[in-house]
Chains A and B, each alone.
Chain A
Amino acid sequence: MAGHFAAKRLSKELSKIRSSLPPGIELVSADNFEEWLLDIRVLDNNPLYQNETYRLKFRFASSYPIEPPEVVFVKLPDRPIPIHPHIYSNGIICLDLLGQQGWSPVQNVESVCMSLQSMLTGNSKNERPPGDEEFVRGNRLRPKDIEFYYHDNDV
């Protein structure tokens, strides 16, 4: 059963994305139904993220949207990893929406981008998650296999 959902649903999301996207979100590439790249910017005046653009990488399993996509920030010369207590310096994001438990199949690429935008907008802490260095050094798991411990739920 799983499998015939993903391509069809993604092709429809793509045609919608190509016709319009909310401000601060841009499609960079979507050459197949496995991996898409998007850029996001924070629109308000939060000094932590001013004048920066961040690159997101979406990876879809054939069970999408029943299963969540894998979403990480990608580091490039002009695309840093945003500083945030739920974003590790290797780009891995700790957000319940993207986890097996928090995901809902009515979410989509656009809504995930918007959630990440507002996650950044609402943040005032200029810090990485606790244990960032150790996690980045030691982690060999894919984001979906990591059991995040949610330190706080107010960020």
Chain B
Amino acid sequence: MARLKLSQWDNAIADCTECLKLAPDSMKAHYSLSQAHLALRAYDEALTHALKAHELCLKTLDKSLGTVTTHVLKCKKERWDDMEKRRIRETSELEMEVIGLLERGRDEAVREAAGLDEGSRREIEDEWRAKIDLVRDVFEKARPAREKRRQVPDWAIDDISFCVMVDPVITKTGKSYERASIVEHLRRQPLDPLTRDPLYISDLRPNLDLKQACEEFLAENGWAADW
């Protein structure tokens, strides 16, 4: 714990791993391990341990469910940001490479056309310029396309925390909420937020299809994790 605070991530990982050998179901160890991995940008490991900590919180009715849920979202967000950054870099590299190839093709064609008359030479140059412009255009068009759908659908949003749901649970009325939010409310007041009918934590059921839909939505729109 102290090592986490001191940002000694490698040591913290070693401690947690040691701890998990002795107690494989330690929620705190998974949670700390996830934090350390996240700090070291090992996103997949961070998410795996965050989800494990969330699962253990549920099993033991741990009070940290809210904190851990927030952390799971954070892992998803940072993991997506990283993938997005890499993808942008890769596509821009690809664009430069393709244009480089075309330019080389053009230079070669121009060299071969050296013996021809001025008109034909110009024709060949124009043809290549049009090709290169077209490729640039296609890359340009692909760019804003993924910026377009920057809207979170209402079905993915928990009406209490206003966050995208990580672990949605459904009530008797058919409405779903983030587990951490609704549990927090029901502890204070065992009433359905919409109908005010009696509702107990034990009445909640996981909504697996919605969970999967939210996961898929976040996988494509990682920015939404901290919308």
Contact = CB atoms under 8 A, between A and B. Distances in A.
Q: How large is the interface on B (under 10, 10 to 19, 20 to 34, 35 or more residues)?
A: 20 to 34
Interface centre among A9, A65, A67, A105 (most CB of B within 10 A): A105
Nearest to B175: A106
Interface of B, secondary structure class, is loop
Contacts of B181: 5, 105
B194 interface: yes
A9 B158 CA distance: 10
B163 interface: yes
Contacts of A65: 160
B67 A5 contact: no
A66 interface: yes
Interface in A52-110: 65-67, 101, 104-106
B11 interface: no
B162 A106 contact: no
B193 A104 contact: yes
Given A1-B63, A4-B66, A106 B193 contact: yes
Interface in A100-153: 101, 104-106
A65 B184 CA distance: 10
Contacts of A1: 63-67, 184
Contacts of A12: 162, 227
B162 A13 contact: yes
A18 to B, nearest CB: 15
A106 B160 contact: yes
A3 to B, nearest CB: 9
A8 B77 CA distance: 15
B92 interface: no
A106 B159 contact: yes
Nearest to A102: B196
A30 interface: no
Contacts of A13: 162
B185 A66 contact: yes
A33 B202 CA distance: 33
Interface in B171-227: 181, 184-185, 188-189, 191, 193-194, 196, 227
B161 A104 contact: no
A21 interface: no
B66 A105 contact: no
Interface in A1-58: 1-2, 4-5, 8-9, 12-13
A105 B63 contact: no
Contacts of B189: 101
A4 B67 contact: yes
B193 A105 contact: yes
Contact of A66 (B63, B162, B184, B196): B184
A65 B182 CA distance: 11
B70 interface: yes
B162 A105 contact: no
Given A1-B63, A1-B66, A8 B163 contact: yes
A5 B163 CA distance: 10
Interface of B: 63-67, 70, 159-163, 181, 184-185, 188-189, 191, 193-194, 196, 227
19 contacts: A1-B63, A1-B64, A1-B67, A4-B66, A5-B161, A8-B162, A9-B160, A12-B162, A12-B227, A13-B162, A65-B160, A66-B185, A104-B191, A104-B194, A104-B196, A105-B181, A105-B193, A106-B193, A106-B194
